[in-house]
A = this chain, B = another copy of it.
């Protein structure tokens, strides 16, 4: 009987020696070329060069090495068909039983250079072809595409006397197709990005498993967390594993924290909605004012600081039950204090790699994709439409309120005092109801008799005067809202009649 054969071509050479030893042990012949061939020889193993094996030199600077019928017949032949056996024999071809291949590092190259030629030269053609051929013929051929699979392969060979089980080969084939699909999705997305083709005819979204979750939003739903394009690098400094809902809240929190001026902002999230946001250079004040917006709802919530947590703040945070604390760095003494709460998850956002790619929502077999709503507002996005002009302080508060508004589920109304939310109305089909909710929060938790100015923002236009009327009755003296209602004029008239300041925004900010 002929000896079994393995073709090896690996860009990633980690742990190569382990399988070489095992192949030798089971008297499996090696075929290789280029860098891998040299490495195998250097490690002291016997190996045939592909060029010698196929009887033809490597040509075109290595562009054509393995794209040869002797290789691919060896991989693709059906061992159960006599005719295939006969054909191979006649052509002096031989069966190839193992394909150990990983690809030119296209993705890695993308991260290290912007040189298009260099990037393109890292598109592997021969590798994926061998892997795809072997995967298709998994009934007879074992395909290994990652050093992580070496241990399993060695186990298999030892257990099966130099062979592998069908179920193992099928599993490796399944993995291999996710590899080739992933590889080409990264290439396609690179080309799409180059040509600014945001919504190509065929969209490929690929993710790397970060972790399987205990469950999804609810215990009867399975769930998992993936990263796209680059590693997210979310690491826990303390606490239990993150849950699906934790992750969901964390991204809600981070999108708001990112939008706030550096080193000033606190955000508290509950059920993916903010229930308190505040900016203040004084860390304790920033936290306390965010908390004051709805101290009841904050219970069990996610708090995100875009600044470093010090000891004093840690003591404050410790006073209530929170699920997750996100910080931008944390002092050792502060971590020590917070770590006393065994279940409190602490995350250092400083280390998280966030990149803004398109938002995706997929229900059933549908998929909605859109740019993230990450518009940065400046004065010129707004127009004063009332007779009253806002003071610079009022304007600051209005812009802050409008910014928070876009992160609140529609319909959203946000009341603000001193650059802190004091009432958030969210998730209502009726805008008037969102107004009422924000007002009742304010009345419940705030001292509204201190004569500090209260401003309001709405994520979309008011269809009627009634919402604005409610706000003004409750003490709001400046409002910012997108224009677009057929009753815009009525609303301006009402603003002037009541002497409030009214700003129209160019953009609305629905979020569902």
Give 6 closest A-B pairs by Cβ, nearest first. A427-B427, A216-B370, A181-B184, A297-B429, A270-B429, A199-B224
Stretch in A200-208, A311-319, A385-393 touching the partner: A200-208
Select which of B133, B229, B366, B369 is within 8 A of A251 by beta carbon.
Answer: B366
Question: At the interface with chain B, which of A34-42, A259-267, A470-478, A503-511?
Answer: A503-511
Contact present for B60 and A84 (CB under 8 Å): yes
The answer, among B81, B198, B208, for a CB contact under 8 Å with A202, is B208
- Seen from chain A, the residues whose Cβ lies within 8 Å of a Cβ on chain B are 56, 59-61, 63-64, 67-69, 71-73, 76-78, 81, 84, 87, 91, 120, 123, 125, 128-129, 132-133, 135-136, 170-171, 173-175, 177-185, 187-188, 191-192, 194-195, 197-209, 212-213, 215-230, 232, 244-245, 247-248, 251, 254-255, 270-273, 275, 294, 296-297, 301, 353-373, 375, 409-411, 426-430, 432-433, 437, 507-512
Q: In the complex, what residues of B have CB within 8 A of residue A77's CB? A: 60, 63
Say how far A104's CB is from chain B's closest CB, in angstroms.
11
Q: Given B133, B271, B429, which contacts A512 in the complex, CB threshold below 8 Å?
A: B271
CB-CB under 8 A from A67, the residues of chain B are: 67-69, 71-72, 129, 133
User: Contact at A363–B251, with CB atoms within 8 Å?
Assistant: yes
Name the residue in A224, A254, A432 with the highest tally of chain B Cβ atoms < 10 Å from its Cβ. Answer: A224
Q: Is the CB of B427 within 8 A of A223?
A: no
B198 touching A182, Cβ below 8 Å: no
Verify B181–A177 contact, CB threshold 8 A: no
Bound state CA distance, A427 and B136, in angstroms? 49
- B59, A87: Cβ atoms closer than 8 Å: yes
Copies in the complex: 2
Cβ A182 vs Cβ B202 within 8 A: yes
CA distance A265 to B254 in the complex (A): 39
Closest B residue by C-beta to A464: B296
- Cβ of A430 to closest chain B Cβ, rounded Å: 5
Do A69 and B59 touch across chains, with their CB atoms under 8 A apart? yes
Q: Which residues of B contact A222 (CB under 8 A)?
A: 198-199, 370-371
Complex alpha-carbon distance, A372 and B365, angstroms: 11
In the complex, the answer to whether A56 meets B69 with C-beta atoms within 8 Å is: yes
Q: Using Cβ atoms and an 8 Å threshold, which residues of chain B touch A251?
A: 363-364, 366
Query: How distant is A233 from chain B, measured CB to nearest CB, in Å?
Result: 10
A189: shortest Cβ distance to chain B, in Å?
8
A212 contact set on B, CB distance < 8 A: 199
Taking CB atoms, residues of chain B closer than 8 Å to A125 are 72, 76, 129, 132-133, 136
Which of A77, A185, A225 has the largest count of B CB atoms less than 10 A from its CB? Answer: A185
Q: Bound state CA distance, A508 and B202, in angstroms?
A: 37
Give, as a whole number of angstroms, the nearest-CB distance from A156 to chain B. Answer: 17
B209 near A200 with CB under 8 A, answer yes
A178 CB contact (under 8 Å) in B135, B183, B188: B188
> A224 to B120, alpha carbons, bound, how many Å?
28
Rounded to whole Å, the gap between the CB of A290 and the closest CB of chain B is 13
